[in-house]
A and B are shown apart, each in its own frame.
Chain A
């Protein structure tokens, strides 16, 4: 399943790259893309554990840039 989320308060391009890498490493994620300019996270992951993956992604983003939130 593929879904696009808006990222709020994404202020640093380097952080966006770091988030992308961190999310790609989450189990069950097939592909992840963070667009700094569009403030969008595109994530493709297994359907059954999708919500779990998003929660993990949220956590990973918070770790890198605490102000940044994924709007679910």
Chain B
């Protein structure tokens, strides 16, 4: 609670105690002296309501006639005139309780976003002419060397040139396990350095760094307002004057036309005024969206605005990019089929033969061999473009490559039933077997796809630039019925364009990509989700939702969160309107009282706010 809120709390307590005390005294010693009653009840009323009355008068001079201060003032002053002193005080008291509650809830939500803003680095230690200077991150140029001390925030995207450490990425990804970094590894700005001292060369300027892009995204997340948010502000514009008009009619018509009692119908009109305040609606809708955005950011799901939540909740078709999204995007040895030799021996030969290459295939072979290979055993090494390599290892001639190379060395080879890249090996001209290298499916992919089905996204489509056979086996394993393979980036755009036309009216299409080469598709889809896109500023800009790590389960969490948020928004709108309309009807019939009206205003606000806070909870 801030100072203002604490002061208001004290006012509420003082006024409440006074009200109860005075009421008890008058119960014990009844009096008909209304001047005395008025004089005593004015005290708690003044304590709790002076600022409202002041604001009401001041705002009238500013041309703001029908604001909530005015409504509360006229309703309570009216109650005083009618002789309902305790009610008048109580209405003002409850109104203030509701206001206090609301301001605490808003502050809490505002804080959750400013916590996220904490990733903003204040300074950078830059090495210039052998000295280390502390400068603003904006002043560091691309390619300069920065020093990151233990516990400091990484100010700019960079590459480690000296030292090693562990990096805490939790502020960005929600992932609590620290990540190890060594020389040559990329550093993402906004993360916190662990125990080691690091020297790094900046790869971007601050403005193009991840941290600046994310801050920009969060800062502007409230700019894109959802339909329901705009609906409610428009609604409020007409609602209040309409109810006030109605109140005037209620005060005047029954007494004039049907010989009703003036005091009774004026009271009913005042009740109308109390419920005419649109606060509950106006506050609860943006608060719900804000809660949803805040809840997502805690999980490493950055959502660009309430429009995105709305669109996400209506997703019907999900389109996935394969590599890097459904699969890990790193190639691994998935099968070894030797002839005569053991699996280990075959791998060893293949890795040795490829030991001079940096090709992804060679790297995965070396990784799979799992032992320190002595490249001194390789005496000759010849690379044949489009075929593979021929090496002399331990005096044996080892050919590692595709079928064409096998034909060249005269080895009798055969195809493999497994999909992936097939590496054939021949030793001394005799076929020795083959090794399959393929992209691994992420272990979270399957549960994530199932969760999406459960959330009503039945149609899933995979797009890939990969070979048809590979696409087929991946889609079979993941149970994805539709796939398009061997696509160029431009083909992905035209495929998504076509799919956009196939969705039902009012539904949306979501596209998930890893942000590499798919920015046009991310923009084109109703909702573009960029996964693991922390390094790619183009993806952060193009996407509607950024998932900071590469866990596909977060897609389902994001959809679930958006559905929950939309549901809470609808609940709040329906609930608040229903209660108000019912009490309004009772007022028209002349059977509503002031207590009911206070509930319709403050009670509904409080319930709607409590409901809105649920949006930020994600399991």
Contact = CB atoms under 8 A, between A and B. Distances in A.
Interface of A: 4, 11-15, 17-18, 33, 35-40, 42, 62-64, 66
Given A13-B286, A17-B236, A38-B113, 6 more contacts: A17-B233, A36-B286, A37-B110, A37-B290, A38-B110, A64-B64
Nearest to B294: A37
Contact of A14 (B63, B113, B221, B282): B282
Contact of B236 (A4, A14, A64): A14
A44 B286 CA distance: 22
A12 B222 contact: no
Contacts of B290: 37
A19 to B, nearest CB: 11
A15 B219 CA distance: 21
Given A12-B68, A42-B223, A64 B279 contact: no
Interface string B37-81: 000000000000000000100110011100110000000000000
B64 A40 contact: no
A35 B222 contact: yes
A71 to B, nearest CB: 15
B68 A4 contact: no
B222 A38 contact: yes
- Which of A13, A35, A63, A66: most chain B Cβ within 10 A? A13
A66 B286 contact: no
Contacts of A42: 220, 223
A37 B62 contact: no
Given A14-B278, A17-B233, A37 B109 contact: yes
A37 B114 CA distance: 11
Nearest to B277: A14
Contacts of A14: 67-68, 233, 236, 278-279, 282-283
Nearest to A14: B282
A33 B224 CA distance: 9
A50 B191 CA distance: 37
Nearest to A39: B110
A53 B359 CA distance: 59
A14 B55 CA distance: 15
A40 B63 contact: no
B559 to A, nearest CB: 23
4 closest residue pairs by CB, A with B: A35-B222, A17-B233, A37-B290, A13-B283
A66 B58 contact: yes
B106 interface: yes
Contacts of A35: 222-223
Contacts of A64: 62, 64
A35 B221 CA distance: 9
B287 interface: yes
A5 B222 CA distance: 14
A68 to B, nearest CB: 12
B489 to A, nearest CB: 31
Interface string B505-547: 0000000000000000000000000000000000000000000
B103 A37 contact: no
A58 B68 CA distance: 22
Given A37-B106, A63-B62, A17 B222 contact: no
Contacts of B279: 12-14
Interface in B69-112: 103, 106, 109-110
B218 to A, nearest CB: 9
Nearest to B293: A37
A66 B59 contact: yes
A62 B62 CA distance: 9
Contacts of B283: 13-14
A15 B68 CA distance: 10
Nearest to B233: A17
A38 B287 contact: no
Contacts of A17: 233, 236-237, 282
Nearest to A4: B219
Nearest to B103: A11
Contacts of A11: 103
Contact of B219 (A13, A38, A66): A38
A31 B109 CA distance: 26
A33 B62 contact: no
A68 B589 CA distance: 40
B604 to A, nearest CB: 14
B219 A37 contact: no
Contacts of B286: 13, 36-37
Contacts of A18: 64
B106 to A, nearest CB: 7
Nearest to A35: B222
B62 A66 contact: yes
A17 B235 CA distance: 11
Contacts of A13: 279, 282-283, 286
